[in-house]
Structure 1
């Protein structure tokens, strides 16, 4: 069963590419979606994060204020590493389980795509038959993060700088998708590489 890693920098369009691969029949798993579930009230990971970062990160409705937490950890490398130590083991375990479930429910013909922004940083390379990096220029990343996500320019740049250099990710990838054109152009590229991904075992 082909297992494909999908990564890239903030604002490069990883989720868009994941959604297009899903349209072609892939089973998609998202590390960010798993992280969001783990930070829901009552989850052991969420409790550990609140204990580590204090009650100020808890919103009035009892949920973790993810925007505030992000502001804290992207300003402080040590805080970011502390958050990763608390969350990454559970995220990786959930993703492994998702891959196993795809094999059990969809069989060996399934194509599983794991979208993981910190794929290289988390040491996940050996999980995958192919790794796809979605890339865009720094200027386009900044535009998307500020215009679409409502971040300040300073916040957006901190997010980008906090991750591994995009050029380094591209050099380690099997396939790079440059994502600055229209959606139809990206679709054409993905349709073109789909047979390679589906036959990756």
Structure 2
């Protein structure tokens, strides 16, 4: 099994692309899903966030107030860095565990939706190929403002500018999906990528390597037992 990294900018349409992959039977492991899971009340990251940022970023019932935390960190690079230090190791641990289960189920490849793939760089060594979802900045801005009730233009711009520029991400990607056109246009691009990935034989090389490692380990264990 090989892993494809899916990224882009905020409000560029990664969720749309993810849904297209899912509609073709491809497993998508979403970093945002695990980002919510690791900050559930009582968990390790939840405790560290409360200690670092205080009660003001939590609801009265103890759940994390993601909007309050987002407003705090998007205007402060140091606080954003501290939050990433707390949450990213826990998120990646969960994602790799989920990927391991897919491997043993016999999947040819899976997609990992990683919004900060290039910013953090933590998962790059695990990926076979990368995909960036790109759109025009005006589209990105209008989508983001429509997503958050009452979000001002300046607030939306600050969130966009807090991430690596899309152009830089595109330069580092193996595939770019342009998502400023119609849904049908986006679907055609993604389906073309899926077709190419399904023709790859990279997963067989990885499985043979894995089988070889297991066989070697068993042989060494046998020698140790009988020596």
Question: After TM superposition, is the score higher than 0.5?
Answer: yes
Instruction: Work out which of the two has the higher radius of gyration on C-alpha atoms and give 1 or 2.
Output: 2
In the other structure, the counterpart of 1:163 is 163
In the other structure, the counterpart of 1:78 is 78
Shift of 1:25: 1.3
- SS of 2:118 mapped into structure 1: coil
Query: Per residue, is there more helix in 1 or in 2?
Result: 2
CA–CA distance in 2 between the matches of 1:84 and 1:159? 15
Per the normalisation by structure 2, the TM-score is: 0.84
For the aligned residue pairs, the C-alpha RMSD in angstroms reads: 1.2
Q: Is there any run of 5+ residues in structure 1 with no aligned partner, and where? A: none
Q: Note the 1:77-116 alignment, pairs <5 A.
A: 77-105=77-105, 107=106, 109-116=107-114
* 1:120 and 2:157 correspond: no
Residue pair 1:4, 1:197 contacting (<8 A) in 2 also: no
Residue pair 1:2, 1:111 contacting (<8 A) in 2 also: yes
CA deviation profile, 1:144-191 (whole Å, cap 9, x unmatched): 000133332122111111111110000000000000112122111111
- SS of 1:114 mapped into structure 2: strand
CA–CA distance in 1 between the matches of 2:147 and 2:183? 16
* 1:131 and 2:130 correspond: yes
- SS of 2:29 mapped into structure 1: strand
- Flag the structure with more relative contact order, 1 or 2, with Cα contacts below 8 A and sequence separation at least 6: 1
Q: Is there any run of 5+ residues in structure 2 with no aligned partner, and where? A: 203-227
Shift of 1:114: 0.1
In the other structure, the counterpart of 1:185 is 185
Residue pair 1:119, 1:125 contacting (<8 A) in 2 also: yes
Residue pair 1:25, 1:111 contacting (<8 A) in 2 also: no
Per the normalisation by structure 1, the TM-score is: 0.95
Equivalenced residue count is: 199
Residue pair 1:27, 1:110 contacting (<8 A) in 2 also: no
CA–CA distance in 2 between the matches of 1:149 and 1:101? 35
